[in-house]
Amino acid sequence: MGILTKWNTCRVDGDQIRMGNTVEDIKCDFVENLFCTQGKFPEVATINDCYGAVAHTVRNRLLHRWIATSRAYYEKASRTVIYLSAEFLMGPQLGKNLINLGIYEQAREALADLGLALEDILAYETEPGLGSGGLGRLAACYLESLATLEIPCIGYGVRYEFGIFQQKIDNGWQVEMSDRWLRLGYPWEIVRPEIAPEVKLGGHTEHYTDELGRQRVRWIPDRVLMGVACDMPLIGYAVNTANMLRLWKAEAARSFDFQAFNVGDYYRAVHEKVVSENITKVLYPNDEPAVGKQLRLEQQYFFVSCSLQDMIRIYLQRKESLHEFHEKYVIQLNDTHPAIGVAELMRLLVDEHRMDWEQAWDITSNTFAYTNHTLLPEALEKWPVSLFAKILPRHLEIIYEINRRFLDQVRVRYPWNEEKVQDLSLIEEGHEKYVRMANLACVGSKAINGVAALHTELLKQTVLKHFHDLWPEKFSNKTNGVSPRRFIVLGNPGLTRLITSKIGDTWPRDLGELRKLEQYVDDSGFRDQWRQVKLTNKGRFAAMIRDQVGIEVDPESMFDIQVKRIHEYKRQHLNILHIITLYNRVKRDPGMDLTPRTFIFGGKAAPGYFMAKLIIKLINSVADVINKDPDVGGRLRVVFFPDFNVKNAQYIYPAADLSEQISTAGKEASGTGNMKFSLNGALTIGTLDGANVEIREEVGAENFFVFGLTAEEVCRQKTEGYSPRNSYLEHPELRGVIDLIDSGFFSHGDQDLFKPLVRSLLEYDEYMLFADYLSYIEGQDRVSLAYRDEQHWQRMSILNVARMGKFSSDRAIKEYCKDIWHVQPVHVEVRETFMAE
Ligand code: F58
């Protein structure tokens, strides 16, 4: 207390403690940081030094709010949302932080005064690619909205030393390069070596009777490691709330080093350290679960255990017993990757905190909630029981006990129905037994949700049907959303200025306000400005294409873009079939009247996914031919833009005229790129899949190019027997396209290269490209026609933006808060002193 009183006298006014927001304040702090954090003087400062100095200048302003926020949460003992996710695709931090702090313009001016361009520094920044796709990016948007809505929250995850690989294209093929995002240091994280829970792995269990005569279990591990907390502050938009993302980095536990040293085994001690650190070395780059990969299971358990121990530590700072744990916390499981948390919380409560099983279960099953992100049966995670027994022997016992009690209930509810029992069981029986993580998540959670209306309905009817029959009240839909701050305000400053000039500046935190734009659709001056913004954005992206890919594209042509992970169900190859169809038409009649289009693709293929990599090769091979053909005369251009990531995405969405959302109906859970495109004024050509259905409902069917089979029709055709070869024989244009690929025309006469792709389409066509081909081509023909009526196109584009308010991540988070989390905002004031009054 003495020291606190002394510290309290150290009042410093706002400006001195690195808070000021004027151009002058920012300039001074920048120069000071150049000296004190980079150790440089201006004449020798590199771009990296300048970036570091700006980042620290911004970080200082975040830290004040971060401290004020944690103090407010501490004082109010607030109920807290825990977002547990194996992936957070946070994107570059500088621009977003400047926007959310409201000092973007001041910073730009301050740097300009010093002869530096903020744009150059933003372009220099690298991003932590700690996620592989939509699921990780959704987590990042949700954390941003949680802070903006002033909701107490901690995001917990893994600090991978290497994130998702960087993609290069070499001779048309994807080449993966390691992502060394920490190479030059990372100014946004604060490492807290003193927050370092221990995590056990392997070994065996011992059952014993304690001093009170109760049956207890001890886990004797054969490895112990340590998680070190690496924190990132996450500031909300135009509020003081700065929440925390805490990522765990694995290190060797010190006690183990000592043991080895004691017996003189220096080598083993060091080896132990290397092996321990491996756990958080690299993100698995696949878009399907890594069945049976020991390291992946260890990663999942590692971060979940660290996080739960950390939550308990924080909780016990204020409380004596853990009986109200579920009132303090609600834990959202971002898919099943953290589902082991159900068993781990049971273990911590029962084994380590000596709670009764029943009470522990009551707490656990009232703490967790589970979001499912996929309908693909092959993407449901399961782990071999043998692997579980080896790595997590105690958890396997706990899972068996949860299952025993659960199946007893099932048998009461469905007497003599062993089929039900088998479907619901946490264990899949068979030659090799598996632990089913989705079943564990469902049993251990009080709420279960899908990520778009159609997806939730299909979940209830298919993969989670038996759980829905058992507990319909647990299920709800939470359609995804995206952050308008990152994907409009930061990514599309031109559009932001135009919108704000018409409807004021409150729309970024109340996206429904965009509706007010509807009143300007008939204003031709406004439509012209709207078109001009798009043209500028296209010019900006065209320059990036020129610099990075070496292809000249015309910003006046329609930018038709498909960016997302490369996967057969997402059907990038259907897009190619359309491109080749147009090419064949031009070759037949070079003088034809063709709407000029630039087709742009981007996205990473899982390194081991042969067919996805072949699709990338096909895109590049088709590009080589078409871009050079004088008959085409530049009216069609095809570009594969390498290394699609959050940073590139910010330039891509604003430049699109047409958004390709063409997955087989019933396969894409939601999609979020579809929302980002439409919010930036692109029109969509899409199937009735995922959130496309709701986007179309919102923007109006007349402003959306729909095509293809519905999910129901896909299902029906499959059961009735679908023959892709019949479609091929029936449609001459399709035949022309497939035959051209097959002939080796795009592969310098090599008829083998694309054979696996052609074969798989002709013989199986699992994702029904041929069934949707005709309807897709007709849809594209409608698009080409529509683009020629420029005034009408602008109208549709404006209406898309005006009606997309629903897809703000703020709306999604409000729904989670109300229906699942039952949590209230906590308003944060920033005081001018660090200490309590
Ligand atoms: C995606 N899933 C869905 N998984 O595919 C997409 O429809 C949805 O919009 C998005 O989640 C957000 O809800 C997805 O991105 C992964 O990346 C997993 C990572 C771990 C391995 C398995 C895939």
User: Is residue 289 within 6 Å of ligand 1 at its C-beta?
Assistant: yes
Average pLDDT, stretch 185-204?
A: 98
pTM: 0.97
Average pLDDT, stretch 283-303?
A: 92
User: Is residue 133 within 6 Å of ligand 1 at its C-beta?
Assistant: yes
Q: Catalytic residue numbers?
A: 373, 564-565, 570, 672, 676
> What is the pLDDT, as a whole number, of residue 260?
61
For residue range 724-745, what is the model confidence (pLDDT) as tens digits? 999 999 999 999 999 999 999 9
User: Is residue 670 within 6 Å of ligand 1 at its C-beta?
Assistant: yes
Q: What CA–CA distance (Å, rounded) separates 149 from 142?
A: 10
User: Is residue 293 within 6 Å of ligand 1 at its C-beta?
Assistant: no
- Hey, whose CA ends up nearest to atom 12 of ligand 1? 135
- Two structure tokens written together for 157: 């995850």
- Two structure tokens written together for 244: 């925390």
- Hey, whose CA ends up nearest to atom 17 of ligand 1? 133
Confidence of residue 257 (pLDDT cuts 50, 70, 90): low
**In this structure, which amino acid lies at residue 826?**
V
Confidence of residue 2 (pLDDT cuts 50, 70, 90): very low
Region of poorest pLDDT, from 117-121, 214-218, 253-257, 706-710? 253-257
User: Is residue 288 within 6 Å of ligand 1 at its C-beta?
Assistant: yes
Query: How many CB atoms are located within 10 Å of the residue 717 CB?
Result: 14
Strands (E), 253-364: 329-334
User: Is residue 451 within 6 Å of ligand 1 at its C-beta?
Assistant: yes
Confidence of residue 379 (pLDDT cuts 50, 70, 90): confident
Confidence of residue 253 (pLDDT cuts 50, 70, 90): confident
Query: How many CB atoms are located within 10 Å of the residue 275 CB?
Result: 13
User: Is residue 480 within 6 Å of ligand 1 at its C-beta?
Assistant: yes
Work out which ligand 1 atom sits closest to the CA atom of 379. Answer: 22
- Two structure tokens written together for 551: 């292809």
> What is the pLDDT, as a whole number, of residue 292?
77
Q: What CA–CA distance (Å, rounded) separates 321 from 327?
A: 12
Confidence of residue 518 (pLDDT cuts 50, 70, 90): very high
Confidence of residue 12 (pLDDT cuts 50, 70, 90): very low
Roughly how many angstroms between the first and final C-alpha of the chain, as a whole number? Answer: 13
- Give the DSSP letter of residue 320: S
Q: What is the mean pLDDT of the chain?
A: 95
Region of poorest pLDDT, from 10-19, 117-126, 392-401? 10-19
Best probe residue, ligand 1, of 164, 297, 332, 374 (max atoms within 8 Å of C-beta): 374
Provide the percentage of residues in the chain whose pLDDT is more than 90.
92
> What is the pLDDT, as a whole number, of residue 17?
53
Confidence of residue 1 (pLDDT cuts 50, 70, 90): very low
User: Is residue 138 within 6 Å of ligand 1 at its C-beta?
Assistant: yes
Q: Of 607, 570, 646, 572, which Cα lies nearest the Cα of 286?
A: 607
For residue range 597-617, what is the model confidence (pLDDT) as tens digits? 999 999 999 999 999 999 999
Q: What is the CA radius of gyration of the chain?
A: 28
Dist. CA 670 → ligand 1 center (Å)? 9
User: Is residue 304 within 6 Å of ligand 1 at its C-beta?
Assistant: no
For residue range 783-801, what is the model confidence (pLDDT) as tens digits? 999 999 999 999 999 999 9
Length of the chain: 837
> What is the pLDDT, as a whole number, of residue 261?
62
- Two structure tokens written together for 143: 């954390």
**Residue 518 CA: distances (Å) to CA of 485, 487, 656:** 21, 21, 21
Work out which ligand 1 atom sits closest to the CA atom of 669. Answer: 7
**In this structure, which amino acid lies at residue 32?**
E
Dist. CA 334 → ligand 1 center (Å)? 10
Q: Is the dihedral of CA 508, 510, 515, 520 positive or negative?
A: negative
> What is the pLDDT, as a whole number, of residue 264?
75
- Hey, whose CA ends up nearest to atom 11 of ligand 1? 135
Q: What CA–CA distance (Å, rounded) separates 646 from 653?
A: 11
Dist. CA 130 → ligand 1 center (Å)? 13
> What is the pLDDT, as a whole number, of residue 3?
42
Pair 129, 645: CB distance under 8 Å:
yes
Dist. CA 134 → ligand 1 center (Å)? 5
- Two structure tokens written together for 99: 């926007």
Work out which ligand 1 atom sits closest to the CA atom of 337. Answer: 20
∠ CA 646-647-650 to the nearest 5 degrees? 85
